[in-house]
Amino acid sequence: MFSKKAKRDLDQQIDRAVGDLRNHVLGSENYIVSLNMVTELTKLKNEQSSAVSKDTMAVVGGNLLGIFMIIKHEAVNVVTSRAMSLLLKPR
């Protein structure tokens, strides 16, 4: 989901927010706002993101299994062109 550039930008924003923390008195309202910002940015950075969703992986796996079954069946019987319409189409 994130590119390397986006991760670098996120790291820069975290560094900026941490630097802003040093400019405020401990426990002040501005310090708490900056601390919340650092917390949110850190959660966003540590969030595990997958480029491909699990649903998409399931559809791809099902299609590959269907193709494998059709190929194995071709060794024994003739497969008509209608068998290819059984595969799920990506959304």
pLDDT digits (tens, 9 = 90+) for 56-88: 889 999 999 999 988 888 777 765 666 667 666
Looking at the chain, the number of H-run helices and the number of E-run strands are: 3, 0
Ramachandran quadrant class, 2 (left: phi over 0; alpha: psi -120 to 50; beta: rest) = beta
* Span between the terminal Cα atoms of the chain, in Å: 19
What is the average pLDDT across 21-48? 84
How confident is the model over 5-34, as pLDDT tens digits? Answer: 666 788 888 888 888 888 888 888 888 888
16 vs 4, more confident: 16
CB 63 within 8 A of CB 86: no
Coil, strand or helix at 27: coil
Instruction: Specify the pLDDT at position 49.
Output: 60
Q: What are φ and ψ of residue 77, in 5° steps?
A: -130, 165
